[in-house]
Structure 1
Amino acid sequence: MNNSLYDVIIIGAGPSGTSCAYNIKRLKPDAKVLVVDKASFPRYKPCGGGVSPEVANYLDFSLEPAVDYKCNQVVMVANGKEIETDKHELWMVRREVFDNYLLEKAKSIGVEFIANCEVKDIINQNENSASVITEGQKFTGKIIVLAEGGRGKLAKKLGMLSSSTVLAAMEYEHYTSNLDGKLYIDFDYNSSGYAWNFPKSDGLSLGIGGHIKGKEKGNVGLPKKLTSYVSQFEVSQFEKSNLHGHPIQLFSGKSRLVCGKIVLIGEIAGCVDPLTAEGIRPAIKSGYLAAQSIASYLRTDKQKCLDDYNLMFYEQIGSDFQRARFVSFLLNQYMHKLLPILSTERAINAFMDVFSGKSSYKAKINLKRAFKFCLRVIF
């Protein structure tokens, strides 16, 4: 049984894990960093693949080689009406390419990586370290970072996972040369979410998502809704290998992301926009913020440096998502009343200002005014 000692062990090689690993090595080059993942890379990951160019602020290398397609034409469909804007650029990525590119960048500056390595447990936690148990191996780290994604079990096992809001999503990869290059967000196919069409260089990522609410769990009806939606894009039947269903764990409020020497980042930390379900940019940002706190801790050995990540996350990600959560709740409950009013060019441009990283929910949404406005409309 291997009992190697590392400064940092990161569980999960998605965008949050690899961006965290890369930035730790960039900020503290002598740190010994290990990333483990249960998959081998490159690997397919169900995802619309829309990324804000603002994500480049959290890495010091170009992401251009990993960008599949650049899109600046966005169409919002609501109440049978199409509203189009061309004022915002979004990057489209294939996750098997994008995630592997980030991983290779991390490895290029000395991050160690072990694939096909599923972590079974985290044990022997104390004020100085904790041990990661895999099949036949044990690795010890001063800090353990959980970047295991929304389906991860370790955070829950450690009692660090608070209540969460889950979006059920189903996606179909449609490979075709019949493309118009536009990104579509469609509210007419689902009363508790939206459908999407994210263009790629070789096809379309078509999907639909809806909130799982109490008694509706397991009965969201996405297959039927997706079948109806994709028919307009010349998809008459699904190739099963290109059809994927998966849950998305949305931001659900302020929670504890640091417990001793355990740190949560990415989707398991709530890094998914509760309104748009955007996850890649906030995941990378969380990895960047965690890396700053971890590098400070490794330099000073002060727990406060690690604990500061909680505050940094909430100030720079969580507080903005609280506003998105408020709007998402209203739309989910009163979509048929609010959509006619929000279906304007001004509204879609405000929406895309946030999605593209040009602005924030805090800048766009005054909670008091929004609440009064919704009361007037709903009642």
Structure 2
Amino acid sequence: MILSRLDQVKPVWDLAIVGAGPAGASAALGALAADPALSVLLLDRAGFPRDKTCGDGIAPHVLDLLGSVGVTGLLDDWTPVRRLSLERDGLVVDREMQRATWVVPREVFDARLVDAAVAAGAQLVRHRVRAMDVRPDCVVLDGSIAAKVVVGADGAQSVVRRGLGLKAAPAALALRGYAPTRAGREERQAIVYGPGRQPSYAWSFDRGDGLSNVGYGEALHPGRPHPTRAELLAKLERLLPDSTRDGEEWKAHHLPLTTWTWRPPPGRVLLAGDAAALINPMTGEGIYYAVATGLHAGRAAVGSLRGSAAADGSGAGAIYRKLVRPLAAHFRHATLAGRLSGVPAVLDRGIRGAAADQRVFDDLVALGLADGRITGRVLRSLVRR
């Protein structure tokens, strides 16, 4: 259900979520699974379905998380992808993954997820949040929407993050389009790394319907000019020849990368997904982290309203910090992996190790797509000559 006018909403909501993408919809699902009586307002500036620039890869771990709150069968009508190939300068590993992934346009995935949140009891309002005022007893959005707890899930340019006074995260820039799947790239996700220092890579992810999500991304560096659209397309074509022919819907977007020091702030305002700068710096993966942190943020909101001594929402940040502690440890591993993979010789050893040992390959997939760690097997593959 979409409420068209803000004067229809409650004076004070238990939980208001800014952004109805995977992080925001998951926050609603996490909260309502814990307490179906909670009043949850879901705000987004766009109507659904809507496009979102992304690589569109959905790891099976995402579906595991959603299954924990009763959302199942979301991608049953899409074709799973079982193979992943990694290539750099002639070195290649091409293996079957332990579990299949999916490549689903965000126009489809996000709409289905927000429908699930609404079905669970969230009230969806199309509204662009521009300002936030954190008060002792609540948070007020745009001077008129009050909530005991607010979750900022409003993406890379988050208004909520800026309202907390948090600095911008390091970022990458990526360009994505859709093009007919080329011969030899069917039924797989293919990644080709660029020359020189990393991370930079082109990708071709087969959707299973005759089209592939193709794109190119690279880390941005302070003091250097951002690459232009033409430069991004040229680098994509250089690494994946013939990938741009007949391509459409080319869009660029910023990816806020996580760091060693991610630690949620205290208080009644929580950040999830891209708004919290939770993009894996090794792979650019973000949907898993959006869903994981969204669910935890929703649960933290319930805990601060129903289970704490104060029960007024002010303790949401402390509860959230405890819930995401294992994920924060993963991000330390992912940040280290991102830095290591930025050295071409180390990246080459990782590809060789994954080509030689399925277990190393599986460990790297878990590290890049979900909450895996740098295992002893991976380290040994990186130090071997």
Aligned CA distance change for structure 1 residues 169 and 100 (closer, same or farther; 3 Å): same
Equivalent in 43, 46, 62 of residue 53 of structure 2: 46
Q: Aligned partners of 1:128, 1:366: CA distance in 2, in Å?
A: 48
List per-residue Cα deviations over 1:107-126 (Å, max 9, x = no partner): 112110012x1011112x22
Q: Aligned partners of 2:258, 2:76: CA distance in 1, in Å?
A: 27
Match for residue 343 of structure 1?
A: 351
- 2:150–2:270: 8 Å Cα contact kept in structure 1? yes
Instruction: State the 1:100 CA deviation.
Output: 0.6
Q: Aligned partners of 2:170, 2:270: CA distance in 1, in Å?
A: 20
- 2:269–2:317: 8 Å Cα contact kept in structure 1? no
- 1:66–1:97: 8 Å Cα contact kept in structure 2? no
Match for residue 140 of structure 1?
A: 146
Equivalent in 99, 103, 125 of residue 114 of structure 1: 125
Q: Aligned partners of 2:295, 2:196: CA distance in 1, in Å?
A: 35
Match for residue 68 of structure 1?
A: 78
1:301-316 alignment, distance < 5 Å: 301=311, 303-313=314-324, 315-316=325-326
- 1:168–1:212: 8 Å Cα contact kept in structure 2? yes
Equivalent in 274, 286, 292 of residue 285 of structure 1: 292
- 1:350–1:364: 8 Å Cα contact kept in structure 2? no
Instruction: State the 1:191 CA deviation.
Output: 4.1
Q: Aligned partners of 2:91, 2:316: CA distance in 1, in Å?
A: 51
| SS of residue in 1 equivalent to 2:144 | strand
* Structure 2 length-normalised TM: 0.85
- Of 322-331 and 221-230, deviating more is 221-230
Q: Structure 1 regions of 5+ residues with no counterpart?
A: none
Q: Aligned partners of 2:154, 2:237: CA distance in 1, in Å?
A: 31
Q: Aligned partners of 1:237, 1:42: CA distance in 2, in Å?
A: 24
Match for residue 220 of structure 2?
A: 212
Instruction: State the 1:293 CA deviation.
Output: 1.2
AA of the residue aligned to 1:101? R
Instruction: State the 1:73 CA deviation.
Output: 1.1
Instruction: State the 1:259 CA deviation.
Output: 4.2
Match for residue 23 of structure 1?
A: 30
Q: Aligned partners of 1:350, 1:67: CA distance in 2, in Å?
A: 28
AA of the residue aligned to 1:311? K
- 1:10–1:145: 8 Å Cα contact kept in structure 2? yes
List per-residue Cα deviations over 1:320-344 (Å, max 9, x = no partner): 1111111211322x21x22332222
Q: Aligned partners of 1:185, 1:109: CA distance in 2, in Å?
A: 37
Aligned CA distance change for structure 1 residues 64 and 47 (closer, same or farther; 3 Å): same
- 1:52–1:355: 8 Å Cα contact kept in structure 2? no
AA of the residue aligned to 2:286? G
AA of the residue aligned to 2:367? V
Aligned CA distance change for structure 1 residues 38 and 67 (closer, same or farther; 3 Å): farther
Instruction: State the 1:94 CA deviation.
Output: 1.3
Instruction: State the 1:172 CA deviation.
Output: 1.5
AA of the residue aligned to 1:360? G
Residue 323, structure 1, aligned to residue 330, structure 2 = no
What percentage of residue pairs aligned between the two structures are identical? 23
Superposed CA RMSD: 2.6
Q: Structure 2 regions of 5+ residues with no counterpart?
A: 1-5
Aligned CA distance change for structure 1 residues 196 and 104 (closer, same or farther; 3 Å): same
Equivalent in 153, 169, 172 of residue 167 of structure 1: 172
Match for residue 3 of structure 2?
A: none
| SS of residue in 2 equivalent to 1:232 | coil
List per-residue Cα deviations over 1:88-113 (Å, max 9, x = no partner): 31122211111011111111121100
Q: Aligned partners of 1:343, 1:175: CA distance in 2, in Å?
A: 27
Match for residue 189 of structure 2?
A: 183
List per-residue Cα deviations over 1:268-305 (Å, max 9, x = no partner): 11221111111001110001111221111110316445
Aligned CA distance change for structure 1 residues 63 and 279 (closer, same or farther; 3 Å): farther
Instruction: State the 1:170 CA deviation.
Output: 0.9
Residue 128, structure 1, aligned to residue 140, structure 2 = no
* Structure 1 length-normalised TM: 0.86
Match for residue 261 of structure 1?
A: 268
Q: Aligned partners of 2:113, 2:95: CA distance in 1, in Å?
A: 31
